[in-house]
Amino acid sequence: MKYAWIDEHRDSYDLVSMCQMLDVSRSGYYRWKASTPSSTARRAEELDAEAKRIFEENHGVIGYRKVHEQLVAEGVVCCPETVRKSLRRQGLRAVRAARFVPSTTDSDHDLPVVENLLERNFTAGRPNEKWVSDITYIRTDEGWLYLAVVIDLFSRKVIGWAMADHLRTELV
């Protein structure tokens, strides 16, 4: 690890000074520089590259278990713990979604409230007798979308719908 740091900063600092500061010999550095990586080190580099590729293809939202699952599906032989260490070594951590707290109406106010005309009776005897609506929250990579739908209770068909990136009145 020390030799790799010395090699990385060789253009910026004097080799002798770095070796003295890190308490390593120059001959040890040159021996390290001339050596070829072990088969274990080469395998770790290959796994690092594959794990990083899969992680980035999935936009950084999957953890080591899913990365391991995809590696195994591609025929790479490894265990989950090795994948976890590989991702950690590279500083790759899955993005955790923030907890969803829906924006709902404030029921604690003095404004007039529309009375409940259906009283949980969701059956209709003929078309266009009863319409109901609902809003659904949809998480996307760009943020939240809100889908408002109006349904005829007789036919259960969608009468109309609207989608927006806000919950203002014009959505419904």
What does pTM read for this prediction?
0.49
Instruction: Encode pLDDT of 31-65 as tens digits.
Output: 989 988 889 989 999 999 999 999 999 989 999 99
101: left (phi over 0), alpha (psi -120 to 50) or beta: beta
Among the listed residues 78, 21, 73, the one whose alpha carbon sits nearest the alpha carbon of residue 46 = 78
Instruction: Encode pLDDT of 141-172 as tens digits.
Output: 888 899 999 999 999 999 999 999 998 888 87
